[in-house]
Amino acid sequence: MIQRFQAFHPAVCFFYYAGSVTVLMLLQHPVALLAALLLIVVINAVHDRCKGLRQWLVMIIVTGFFLLILNPLFNERGQHVLFVLFDHRITLEAVIKGGMSALTIIAVFAVFVSYNEVMTPNKLLYLFAKFFPQFAVLLMLTLRFIPLMKRRLADISAVQQSKGVYVSGGNWRERAKNGLLYVQVLLTYSLEEAIQTADSMKAREYGSSTRSTYEHFRMKGIDIIAFLLLGFFLAVSIAGRMQGHLYLTVYPVMDSLTLTGTETVYLTAFLIYLSFPLLAEGGGMIRWRLLK
Amino acid sequence: MRCHQRMKMIALLLMLVLLVVLSIHWMTHYLWLSFGVVITAVLVFLVRFETKVIEAREIVLLAVLAAIAAVSRIPFASIPSVQPTTFVIMMAGFVFGAESGLIVGIVAALASNMVLGQGPWTPWQMLAWGLVGLTAGLLRKRSFMKKTWGKVLFALAWGFLFGWIMNIWGLLAFAGADGFTDLTIFIPYFLGSAVFDMMHAVSNVFFFLVFGGLWLNILQRFKTKYGLLDKCKGDSS
């Protein structure tokens, strides 16, 4: 568990994930992408021993593989021909470009796996409620209705099945028709209930004045320090990318794959940014030891 | 409070203009900037939603519609790419107007992904389903939309449009940081998704033909009975 990182203010966590995805999408260098991907996998491993990542594994591999092979298949440009397949030139450039696309998407997926673990819906809702209170109420109501409707749908399907209306059997036409019939029963059922819910909200003075809210998360000194640190390293990484570093020119002539000195500096800045959850965890552990 | 929202609105609109100007300046990065425009556009609609005074009954109704749209994916889990979410959002747009349709679409996408797991696709789904509701509300007064064939065409078109909008985020991964070098690469990509888009489109039409009239009646009856979301009627036509 990355408990230290989870304890930060939601805005810090959100900033971290938004920044990581942005830089990952901007980077265009196999070495940098590979290093970033490894780091993200380590974060996932520390977090939940890659449990979340394993659930998405099939989708991640399929998408990555698809991106990796599609580019060489439809792109013949490049000077280094690896081999010729049915009169089609497979070039090193195309393979590297496809590989970079695949690495980017895999890394972004892996970041989202970690995001779903750390940014629980209540944290996102908290951030929303700051800026869009009315929308947050709507979202909260919807989130509350989803499990309720699932239960109602189960009730409905039990009743309908006793009448011989199934979604599990029959041809597609029948299944689709019966499926939407369930949803229609759910609609009429829920619409009437909605009026009751609304009246009860009204009875408790909904919308009569602005309200104070319970602040579950507080911005502490350490959150501000985290913000500054993250902001600094993110700015350095983006500035490096703006100057054309960490960008592998593939066409017309491919650059060397090795990183130059300045590129290593910028890559280190980005890797420090990415490893923030690990650093926070490590720092917390050291402090714990010292205090003990 | 009002003033506050207006400031936000102005800031967001300025950002939109800035993004468009930037995209002229940096032609090669148009995909990234279009992503920025998508997010800003969604934020603009949310700020607009904040400025409206909405009754308790109306906000609960919107939440019920969004929750039904999100939950209705469950009985269809066994059939690939067939889900009535688009149909439900379309019905909401037809009966309750453009803005309600848009909000139902956005909330349905966001809330269902909060349950199923967020991913890079979330903003695109919010945009695609939001636009389904918005266009349904905007076009409902047109003469061709009063007829069945108009609505069938609309449902069919959105099956494909939805797929194309969703393809854009895949394109972002393809393109990497520097635009496209070769546009032909997208032909197989779009052809590959066409099978699923076709299923989506056909199921939309099927749902509409079998249930459309009934659903419109149910929602319309509910709307007149309780006089809900009536003010949307004026500004959507």
Its domain, for residue A11, covers: 3-120+241-291
Q: How confident is the model at residue B233 (pLDDT cuts 50, 70, 90)?
A: very low
Average pLDDT score over chain B: 80
Give the pLDDT confidence score for residue A69 in this predicted structure.
79
What value does the mean pLDDT take over residues A221-234?
A: 88
Whether the ω angle into residue B123 lies within 30 degrees of 0, i.e. cis, is: no
Q: What is the mean pLDDT of residues A84-111?
A: 81
**How buried is B235 (Cβ within 10 angstroms: 0-12 exposed, 13-18 middle, 19+ buried)?**
exposed
Whether A271 is covered by a domain: the verdict is yes
pLDDT at B185 over 70: no
pLDDT number for residue A192: 86
B189 touches chain A (CB under 8 A): yes
Task: Tell me the residues of chain A between 199 and 228 that have a Cβ less than 8 Å away from chain B.
Answer: 199, 201-202, 206-207, 210
Q: Which CATH code of 3.30.460.80, 1.20.120.1200, 1.10.1760.20, 3.40.250.10 fits the domain covering B55-236?
A: 1.10.1760.20
How far apart are the C-alpha atoms of A92 and A81, rounded to whole Å?
6
| Ramachandran angles phi, psi of B15, nearest 5° | -65, -40
- Residue B45 CA to residue B16 CA, distance in Å, equals 13
Most A CBs within 10 Å, among B32, B34, B64, B229, to test the A interface: B64
Confidence of residue B232 (pLDDT cuts 50, 70, 90): very low
Task: Parse chain B into domains and list their residue ranges.
Answer: 1-51, 55-236
Q: Could you give the number of structural domains in chain A? A: 1
Residue A277 lies in a domain: yes
Q: In chain B, which among 74-133 make CB contacts under 8 A with chain A?
A: 74-76, 78-79, 82, 84, 87-88, 103, 107-108, 110-112, 114-115, 117-120
Alpha helices in B52-84 (DSSP H): 56-71
pLDDT in tens, A239-288: 887 777 767 776 666 777 777 777 788 888 888 888 888 888 888 788 88
Residue A38 lies in a domain: yes
In a domain, A147, yes or no: no
Average pLDDT of the segment spanning B76-95: 83
Beta carbons of B229 and B58 less than 8 angstroms apart? yes
pLDDT in tens, A120-175: 888 888 888 877 888 888 998 998 898 898 899 889 888 988 887 777 777 777 87
Count CA within 13 A, CB hemisphere, residue A171. Answer: 1
- The chain B residue lying nearest A121, using CA atoms, is B114
ipTM above 0.95, yes or no: no
Residue A70: inside a domain: yes
The answer on pLDDT for B104 being more than 90 is yes
